[in-house]
């Protein structure tokens, strides 16, 4: 499989869907007219790197904050210790700027900003705003959206807010706290009024699958102005939550539904994670399609596989991508049979053995 070509085609399809969303929206069309050439330039940079033996993924996931103002049930960030009140080791805005400058030069198109709660790092958000050739999906709980942030997003349409919800009011408030759904809904209304592209991210579990993976729910989000919808399979990092994990039948059913959504709602962008990896030849972590940088600079294969040997405070992005650790992780993923869910999470012992030096690379 020519992964670069496949991914570039996928990115082009995303731009087309965004174009349908922004139809008859002058500001939105103007944004796409500016960002589309930058996306093509980034693809050419990645191809040039490929020809020299360096595979650069189009996406980086950057957890810019370790703190969060919510305590959601089953949060993987808190379960792994990535989300905490200890910020002493967090990277500075200047260190994040250095990273963004490097990934921009290498041809990375998307930098997904996460946390913790990314809006707790206004300094990093303001630094990111200066990189107009990168698209920044910002995964947020919406509670910190104030007038200054509304203005920042309006002035920088390459910032695309993605609001975390669990379905309707009952499921969202159950996991995120009383009143969480209303907060998100009010913020969505603001972005709809401004005719700005925004998304939603739904963690899919056994409990909410039937209520969120259906046409009525997607239509309700579309009516609210949502243009991007992420379906994220629940990974039971927190002990005792294994019963919430989707089984193989659930995953296959969800993928079939998502493919239908893509046909029936062609002005929306749908991403199923990690389900979409199967059509791209398996696990995309460890730099094959993306990798994760934690708030302290650790270079991890994936948010659900939080292991790092290198740190971006001292190491370069290129060093990470060429590292033996990531190379061996890609081999583990390639040898594994993809049956849905997170591949590296399912091979946690092998990953830990690499990290601890019990397996050579």
**Distance between CA 166 and CA 211 in Å, rounded?**
10
By the 8 A CB rule, do 175 and 73 touch?
yes
Q: Please tell me the predicted confidence (pLDDT) of residue 278.
A: 67
Q: For residue 354, what pLDDT is reported? A: 79
- For the domain spanning 3-354, the CATH number is 3.20.20.70
pLDDT in tens, the chain (361 residues): 577 888 888 888 889 899 999 988 999 999 999 999 999 999 999 999 999 999 999 999 999 999 987 666 666 665 666 666 666 789 999 999 999 999 999 999 999 999 999 999 999 999 999 999 999 999 999 999 999 999 999 999 999 999 999 999 998 888 888 999 999 999 999 999 999 999 999 999 999 999 999 999 999 999 999 999 999 998 887 778 889 999 989 999 999 999 999 999 999 999 988 766 666 777 888 899 999 999 999 999 988 888 899 999 999 999 999 999 999 888 887 776 655 567 776 677 777 777 776 555 5
Answer yes or no: are the C-beta atoms of 74 and 57 closer than 8 Å.
no
Domain boundaries, the chain: 3-354
Residue among 337, 349, 334 at smallest CA distance from 1: 334
Residues 203, 234 contacting (CB under 8 angstroms): yes
265-303 in b/e form (b: 16+ CB < 10 A) is: beebbbbbebbbbbebebbbbbbbbbbbbbbbbbbbbbb
Note the pLDDT of residue 197. Answer: 95
* pLDDT reported for residue 139: 97
**How many angstroms separate the CA atoms of 136 and 125, rounded?**
10
Please report the pLDDT score of residue 80 as a whole number.
62
């Amino acid at each position: 499989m020519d992964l670069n070509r496949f991914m570039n085609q996928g990115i082009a399809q995303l731009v087309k869907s965004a174009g349908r969303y922004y139809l008859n929206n002058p500001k939105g069309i103007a944004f796409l007219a500016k960002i589309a050439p930058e996306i093509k330039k980034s693809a050419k940079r990645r191809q040039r790197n490929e020809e020299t033996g360096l595979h650069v993924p189009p996406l980086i996931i950057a957890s810019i904050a370790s703190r969060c103002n919510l305590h959601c049930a089953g949060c993987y960030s808190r379960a792994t210790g990535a989300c905490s009140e200890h910020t002493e080791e967090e990277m500075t805005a200047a260190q994040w700027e250095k990273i963004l400058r490097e990934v921009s030069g290498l041809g990375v198109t998307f930098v997904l900003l996460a946390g913790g709660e990314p809006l707790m790092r206004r300094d990093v958000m303001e630094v990111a705003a200066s990189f107009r050739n990168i698209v920044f999906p910002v995964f947020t709980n919406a509670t910190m959206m104030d007038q200054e942030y509304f203005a920042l997003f309006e002035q920088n349409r390459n910032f695309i807010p993605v609001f975390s919800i669990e379905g309707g009011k009952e499921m969202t408030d159950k996991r995120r706290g009383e009143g969480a759904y209303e907060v998100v809904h009010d913020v969505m209304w603001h972005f709809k009024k401004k005719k700005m592209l925004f998304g939603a991210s739904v963690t899919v579990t056994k409990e909410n699958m039937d209520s969120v993976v259906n046409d009525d729910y997607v239509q309700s989000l579309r009516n609210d102005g949502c243009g991007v919808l992420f379906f994220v399979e629940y990974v039971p990092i927190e002990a005792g939550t294994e019963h919430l994990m989707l089984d193989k039948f659930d995953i296959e059913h969800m993928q079939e539904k998502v493919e239908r959504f893509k046909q029936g709602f062609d002005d929306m962008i749908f991403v199923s994670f990690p389900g979409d990896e199967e059509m791209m030849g398996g696990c995309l972590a460890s730099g094959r399609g993306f990798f994760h940088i934690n708030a302290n600079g650790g270079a991890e294969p994936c948010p659900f596989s939080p292991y790092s040997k290198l740190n971006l405070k001292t190491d370069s992005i290129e060093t990470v991508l060429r590292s033996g650790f990531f190379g061996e992780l890609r081999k583990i993923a390639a040898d594994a049979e993809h049956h849905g869910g997170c591949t590296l999470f399912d091979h946690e012992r092998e990953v830990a053995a690499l990290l601890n030096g019990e397996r050579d690379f």
